[in-house]
Structure 1
Amino acid sequence: MRRVSGFSLFVVLLAAMSAIAASSAHAQPYPVVYNLFVGVPAELTNPGGSLPGSNDWSCRPSSAHPNPVVLAHGTAANKQTNWGVYVPLLANEGYCVYAGTFGNYVGSPWPNSAMGGMLPIEQSAAQLGDFVDRVLAATGAARVDIVAHSQGNVYGNYFIKRLGGAAKVDKFVGLAPLWLGSNLLGLGELGVYSTQLGLKAAFDGLFGECQACPQVGQGSDFLRELNADGIYHPDVAYTNIATALDELVVPYTSGLVPGPGVTNIVVQDGCPTDYSEHAALGGSPRAAAYVLNALDPAHPRPVPCEFIPPFTG
């Protein structure tokens, strides 16, 4: 019960922050407020709903943006709470935008049911694959582009490499990716040792309801198997957008593995006033400009350098 009440209080506090930030929104088809948590009020008022500008199943991609964009959220997030910036931003740019909640406990009471990325990554990836198939069928597009945040990168790549997604994905843009896993607080190393000692079940139990969490630990069996044939699929164009201040992906270079045709970006490079950490990449205007350029490299735009606060972006 403490998990539910604590999350509820957290959401209420973030909603208050978002309401303050929303006052600065400028007039356009869908207001864009650069704050990671601006999507939280939508989840509070319409649990399980879709943000305005997303999941329009009558949308037809334009010649300028022929690939629909599918958004893959991070751990404990969902299609509204993770994407309050990117849904309106991409919709205003003329993209058909789709966001789902993957890997949540559907039968649990809200807000537990609103926390995606909790099931094993294989299950989240399969749900993403079904969602992509629905997007392709509805839009008539040949392939989608994926924008992912945090754990969304891992189950997104599992879909690409293990579930036939490479034939359906053109560009993959990762915010705070962790291809090599995280050793936060030494938990990656502890996971390896516990497996060697036959204590894997006890170690996994440390993460409670988050069955995916031990899978993204540095050196985990899951990542070792996923990366056995290389990090990337050669038929997909990857862009990795990382922050040197990432407190959850440790080290942050876990998401910057080089590869043929792979673009690696650290948002602090050339911009010392960018203090975004793991969460803030989902709300940062600087990171968002990099995402837009990755999706449409033929029409690059200037990437702003300004003060980017942590947590909100």
Structure 2
Amino acid sequence: MRTFFSLAVALAVVGGACTAVAAAEPAPPSITPLTGIEPCPAGTLEDAPVLLIPGTNATVEKSLGPVRQALLDDGRCVYGLEYDSMQPISLSVDYFTAAVERIREINGTTALDVVGKSQGALIARAVSVEFTDPHPLRQVVAISGPQRGGTKSIGGVDITPLGAQTPALNLLDRAAVRDMLVGSPYLTELNSGPMTAPAVRYTMLASTYDQIVSPPSASFVDAPNVTNILIQDGCPEDWAGHLAESTDPRTVDLVLNALDPLRHPAVRCLPNTDER
């Protein structure tokens, strides 16, 4: 029963943050107003600014906190924006597309890097194909994004009846979750054209032990400008799944290596589980 309960809770935390199951409804999101985006602090414009996009029901800190801190330690300019992760994904894509434009405008920069986790990883790729040359994005790093969609089962368990019994977990009623299902109208339209922008470099990360976006190939995209990485390649003792990837040292290192391999050539291999 523990496994079934853990998987049920995992559905409510697609972005990597555990929410209280007892709540009848998730708390209203705190959306970052685009007018509140300020220029990068002095001394951080040498490298491209980095925009972080969290996952479903998760803040930037819960989805990408260690990544953000490591980038700040590097002296990078980092933007972490909160959004309504239950609204249709097309609306979130519009929001982050406008955010990219504002960040570029107020900083006078020509390039940004974007890192997304889970739903945020799908949004990051969708935003990248919204632009034409000159393209404002340099790199997209996507952590366990449902690029090809997810299913209504987690770890082989059909969660539809569970949602009917437990309204707090019935995320299938939410537009963003429906948009992320295999064969959804949104994904069908998004993936009917080019799945990447030619001028952008992509790194897609996935885990064998991800029970939410599964199989790992659902997070991968086949294109010349895409590097697909399974975090267990070369490190089988790292069992981090969807939740633990938010803090998994190897996953964090792979993100940093993708963004700046000269500064971060080493990628740690540490034993891990999805309990972190």
Q: Where on the TM-score scale, by shorter chain, does this alignment land: which range?
A: 0.7 to 0.9
CA distance 1:137–1:222, change in 2 (3 Å):
same
Q: TM-score w.r.t. structure 1 length?
A: 0.68
2:115 corresponds to: 147
In 2: Cα distance, 1:124 partner to 1:90 partner: 24
Q: Over aligned residues, Cα RMSD in angstroms? A: 2.8
Deviation at 1:56, TM superposition (A): 6.4
Query: Is residue 302 from structure 1 mapped to residue 266 from structure 2 by the alignment?
Result: yes
- What CA distance in whole angstroms lies between the structure 1 residues aligned with 2:114 and 2:134? 11
Q: If the length of structure 2 is used for normalisation, what is the TM-score?
A: 0.76
Greater RCO structure (CA 8 Å; 6+ sep)? 2
Instruction: Kindly provide the amino acid, as one letter, of the partner of residue 51 in structure 2.
Output: V
| Structure 2 contact 64–117 (Cα < 8 Å) conserved | no
Does the aligned pair in 2 maintain the 1:121–1:215 contact within 8 Å?
Answer: yes
Contact kept, 8 Å, 1:174 with 1:241, in 2: the verdict is: yes
Pairing 1:278–2:242 present: yes
Q: 1:69 and 2:37 equivalent?
A: no
Alignment map for 1:219-238 (pairs within 5 Å):
219-238=183-202
Q: Matched residue pairs, number?
A: 235
Could you say if the C-alpha distance between residues 122 and 164 of structure 1 is closer, same or farther in structure 2, counting changes exceeding 3 Å?
farther
Residues 182-237 of structure 1: per-residue CA shift (max 9 Å, x gap): 12418xxx9xxxxxxxxxxxxxxx63662110111112121111011132121110
1:242 to 1:133, Cα distance in 2 relative to 1, 3 A:
same
How far is 1:295 from its partner?
0.4
Amino acid at match of 1:59: P
- The structure 1 segments of at least 4 consecutive aligned residues displaced by more than 4 Å after TM superposition are 47-50, 60-63, 163-166
Change (3 A) 1:174 1:140: same
Report what 1:122 is aligned to.
Answer: 90
What does 1:17-96 correspond to in 2, within 5 Å? 48=30, 57-60=39-42, 62=44, 65-96=46-77
One-letter code aligned to 1:135: I
Deviation at 1:160, TM superposition (A): 1.8
Tell me by how many angstroms 1:78 deviates: 2.2
Residues in 1 aligned to 2:17 and 2:78: alpha-carbon distance in whole angstroms: 19
Q: Kindly provide the amino acid, as one letter, of the partner of residue 56 in structure 2.
A: T
State whether residues 85 and 283 of structure 1, in contact with CA within 8 Å, keep that contact through their aligned partners in structure 2: yes
More helix by share: 1
Preserved CA contact (<8 Å) 2:62 2:246: no
**Do the aligned partners of residues 305 and 274 (structure 1) sit closer, same or farther apart at CA in structure 2, a change above 3 Å counting?**
same
Query: C-alpha separation between the residues in 1 aligned to 2:125 and 2:267?
Result: 26
Q: Aligned partners of 2:216 and 2:95: how far apart in 1?
A: 27
* Pair 1:175 & 2:143 matched: yes
Cα deviation code 1:57-86 (max 9, x no counterpart): 3424657x5210000111111233323212
Q: Residue 274 of structure 2 aligns to a residue in which SS? A: coil
1:160 to 125, 128, 133: 128
1:242 positional shift: 0.7
Does residue 67 of structure 2 align to residue 99 of structure 1?
Answer: no
8 Å contact from structure 1 (residues 173, 240) kept in 2: yes
Structure 1 CA distance, aligned partners of 2:133 and 2:237? 37
- Alignment identity in percent? 29
Paired position in structure 2 for 1:217: 181
